Chains A and B, each alone.
Chain A
């Protein structure tokens, strides 16, 4: 099969390492030349505690241009090191993280230089986390499905169904927890539908995902107009409030970022760890990955391929359902038509960008979340970068990733191919 996708025309065969190095150097150069040189004279101010929190940390003032020069220089150095030395995969990942963080730091310094208003870093990071929660759940759901060899484009639909069920059940029964559990079950049922048609009826999984999305959009839209609009008490708008973890939540900086959020962030922590360890360090994960890479071999060894796929697709749907519930009972409370507004597709992008691994997907989801909250912060600072361009970056980054300019991503080998026992 690989011969089908290996094109004859292939001018982009540049060495991946040198491309990555070049990309790092380019980002460093932007830090220096664009942000450093064009920064307004003066300092950038960063606030490190939320207003109204117990312990207040004094604002940090840094010379904007200088910071841009320093981080830009560091990025260039890392770029050259990446090109010359042959670092281990772990170091490569740290290098990417560092260069991107430096880039964001330079961007913020440039944006806030000489500005009276301080940028509240804590709230920026908090918002990024919040923005990335649905993406994290969606991407984890994608990992669960696709590692077992079933493509899930229906994440968007699963989020939507989860969001709807969460809102209506929480309002009808009056318990947010029942809302949460039923969203998970409802999205799991959509996952079951995906599984039945993909695994049993061998329908093309990409087509199926698209159709299920249409169905979910229509169904939730129909029920919204039919049930929620005439009865406002079915869309009451209750939502989980933030829970501060005892002790940990009171630590300055770390507390408000990691330990002062709704239950969804804590569920996400647990699921990230469970799915990452589960997929890569347990017998269950080995089996799932075997089924996703080479189902025939797995079958020969006595694994029940179809059963493992069914289980994973349904579990994946249930994970996505929690992410969907976050959109209603985890944040705004109310359901609205098409409330998932593309989160499912960004989650898909995050999963691909994160190379089909839970941790990678989460990192990508966070990055996309940062882009989202940066767009808000920068527009409040009247920065001449249109927020739409920032919002575009996740998608462009994913295109760059699949096209293979910065290291090509590869899906599980049997992803999307129905398994028929010979």
Chain B
């Protein structure tokens, strides 16, 4: 990943590449310093995360009535005000960490006859939450690489979810085949929606952002319609808009433990990361995607079909969003069977994941894990704090991180870093007219 994220690295390493191991090591150290001083992408990302956590901490503090009260008595008890502030932040963020990565208490418990699996429980939660985020993130990222902005992952997610849920509850198949059928159905459902967007863009030049936003709402209404009739997806005997639970045969086997822990869906996501990485860096199609994304005119001069690439990349992008839906539908809970809320925020979270991951597959994996960790830890944090720190803070943190990552000059100005050469988010800056 590092060679993709640090443009300066290969050039710096070249001159000394044949002089043996030691100078190379020295250079690596130099590269790290250079990266820090110049505020390269990795450093920018770390600083962005830090800054987002600081701002969110302020938000947590200033909305805590106890802390506000303590500051009101600042002159009579200054120590109390500061310790209350610290306590408020520390409880929230340590719960966030313990809920998502590792809780020291579980080690002690393991020595005293507790389960060893409990040590890995938070990580398993994180993997579970990260699974759909990685997949929708990949969906947005691959379209990015071809110069398209897929805001429609939400709609494609719904498309995949409808097909997966229907195959899951209405069709009877043997165990492994049923799982595969559901996954493929979700893939196809999402891919069709994505392809529609790509094809419309290719044939008419209409802006994909507008089409995808509109299709999101079309799909949302379609989902509502399908869920309000037992002829389609509604569970018989239900007045709520909810689909029947899928059969046991179609549910993913566990990997980490019973839900809400990681299941086979996480492995699907990892496989998708590997697949997209291979596609983008090793295949002809991927080369065409990247060329079209970098410069459509050059791609056309080189004899590539820009339109075919658009249609194809949206097909794949939609398929990945559909796959994300299958990991939710077949995950065996905790989200209930398909309902209007399944629509969720997965699609839009995918955009933030793709942006933070700089549209690189491995970057998306890491960003997805980070946001998954925030989500998993956020739920634990909400339960562990009084007054509650609502899990919505996670969305604020995500938004802030991406906002800062998108504006490296701001981060450099705040932390007094020198400008790097060619660093920053490779945004596809273009207007509605292309």
Q: Chain A residues in contact with chain B, CB under 8 A?
A: 1-12, 146, 149, 151, 153, 197, 201-208, 210-215, 217-219, 221-227, 230, 337, 342, 345-346, 348-349, 352, 386, 388-389, 391-392, 395-396, 398-399, 402-404, 410-411, 413-418
Complex partner residue of B427 from A146, A151, A204, A217, CB under 8 angstroms:
A204
Q: Is A392 within 8 A of B218, CB to CB?
A: yes
Q: Is B352 within 8 A of A214, CB to CB?
A: yes
For A375, give the chain B residue with the smallest CB separation: B221
B351 surroundings in chain A (CB, below 8 A) = 207, 210-211
Stretch with Cβ within 8 A of A (4 or more), from B180-188, B260-268, B388-396: B388-396
Stretch with Cβ within 8 A of A (4 or more), from B106-114, B131-139, B398-406: B398-406
**Whole-angstrom distance from the CB of A188 to the nearest CB of chain B?**
18
A230 surroundings in chain B (CB, below 8 A) = 65, 387
Q: Is B217 within 8 A of A392, CB to CB?
A: yes
Query: What's the A-B contact tally at a CB cutoff of 8 Å?
Result: 204
Known: A210-B351, A415-B433. A389 touches B225 (CB 8 A): yes
Q: Is B431 within 8 A of A416, CB to CB?
A: yes
**Whole-angstrom distance from the CB of B344 to the nearest CB of chain A?**
11
* Binary interface encoding of chain B residues 188-201 relative to chain A, with 1 for a CB under 8 A from any of its CBs, else 0: 00000000000010
B432 surroundings in chain A (CB, below 8 A) = 146, 151, 411, 415-416
Known: A7-B204, A349-B214. A204 touches B406 (CB 8 A): yes
B389 surroundings in chain A (CB, below 8 A) = 226
Docked Cα-Cα span, A100 to B352, in Å, equals: 40
B151 surroundings in chain A (CB, below 8 A) = 206, 210
A210 surroundings in chain B (CB, below 8 A) = 151, 348, 351-352
Complex partner residue of A221 from B222, B228, B348, B392, CB under 8 angstroms:
B392
A205 surroundings in chain B (CB, below 8 A) = 429
**Whole-angstrom distance from the CB of B231 to the nearest CB of chain A?**
11
Q: Is A225 within 8 A of B388, CB to CB?
A: yes
Q: Is B403 within 8 A of A211, CB to CB?
A: yes
B205 surroundings in chain A (CB, below 8 A) = 5-7
Q: Is A403 within 8 A of B200, CB to CB?
A: yes
Docked Cα-Cα span, A197 to B397, in Å, equals: 17
Docked Cα-Cα span, A223 to B64, in Å, equals: 10
* Binary interface encoding of chain B residues 337-368 relative to chain A, with 1 for a CB under 8 A from any of its CBs, else 0: 00000000100110110010000000000000
Q: Is B297 within 8 A of A386, CB to CB?
A: no
**Whole-angstrom distance from the CB of B152 to the nearest CB of chain A?**
11
B15 surroundings in chain A (CB, below 8 A) = none
Complex partner residue of B396 from A219, A227, A337, A415, CB under 8 angstroms:
A219
Q: Chain B residues in contact with chain A, CB under 8 A?
A: 59, 63, 65, 149, 151, 200, 202-207, 209-211, 213-218, 220-222, 224-225, 228, 296-297, 300, 305-307, 345, 348-349, 351-352, 355, 387-390, 392-400, 402-403, 406-407, 409-410, 425, 427-434
Further contacts, 9 of them, CB under 8 A, given A206-B209, A212-B403: A8-B300, A221-B390, A222-B392, A224-B392, A342-B217, A342-B220, A415-B432, A415-B433, A417-B430
Complex partner residue of B399 from A8, A153, A215, CB under 8 angstroms:
A215
**Whole-angstrom distance from the CB of A364 to the nearest CB of chain B?**
13
For B399, give the chain A residue with the smallest CB separation: A215
17 chain-A/chain-B pairs, Cβ below 8 angstroms: A8-B307, A9-B202, A12-B203, A153-B209, A197-B403, A204-B406, A208-B406, A215-B399, A217-B392, A218-B398, A222-B59, A224-B392, A225-B390, A392-B221, A398-B210, A403-B204, A413-B431
Docked Cα-Cα span, A414 to B216, in Å, equals: 27
A5 surroundings in chain B (CB, below 8 A) = 205, 433-434
Known: A201-B410, A395-B215. A207 touches B355 (CB 8 A): yes
Docked Cα-Cα span, A107 to B394, in Å, equals: 47
Q: Is B228 within 8 A of A386, CB to CB?
A: yes
Docked Cα-Cα span, A205 to B207, in Å, equals: 14
Q: Is A1 within 8 A of B399, CB to CB?
A: no
**Whole-angstrom distance from the CB of B391 to the nearest CB of chain A?**
8
Across the A-B interface, give the 4 residue pairs with the lowest CB-CB distance, nearest first.
A218-B395, A416-B431, A215-B399, A5-B434
Complex partner residue of A411 from B220, B397, B429, B433, CB under 8 angstroms:
B433
